[in-house]
A = this chain, B = another copy of it.
Amino acid sequence: MDDLTEMLKGTLEGCVLEIIGREETYGYAIARQLNQLGFTGVVEGTVYTILLRLERNKLVQVVKRPSGMGPPRKFYSLNEAGREELARFWTKWQYLSSRINKLKEGGE
């Protein structure tokens, strides 16, 4: 698939929120999961910047735990603000994608 970078803007962060909302997880695993989900070309560096942003914006709770497979991992889970942000994200996605699809189907 072509480069999706620009189209991911504004949606990738929401996708990361969704993944974290399912179960407590960490950056390296999120990156691999995204790629497995078809978000090809999303590299680790990108995921880490999003995670640091989520932390800075106080949307997640962070716990550091030893790994056994390498350096310690930072596990992320959503707090109340994060769950609200995730809900807002899906509302916006629903709104926008429906408009775009209508435009695509020839709607005026």
Name A residues whose Cβ lies closer than 8 Å to a Cβ of B: 1-2, 4-11, 15, 18-19, 37-39, 88, 90-93, 95-97, 99-104, 107-108
Nearest residue, chain B, Cβ from A38: B99
Knowing that A7-B9, A9-B9, A38-B102 are A-B contacts, what are 12 other residue pairs whose CB atoms are under 8 Å apart, sorted by A's residue number? A1-B95, A2-B88, A2-B91, A5-B10, A7-B92, A9-B10, A11-B96, A37-B99, A37-B102, A37-B103, A37-B107, A97-B100
With A and B bound together, what is the CA distance between A18 and B90 in angstroms? 25
| A88 smallest CB distance to B (angstroms) | 6
Are the C-beta atoms of B96 and A4 separated by less than 8 Å?
yes
With A and B bound together, what is the CA distance between A67 and B6 in angstroms? 35
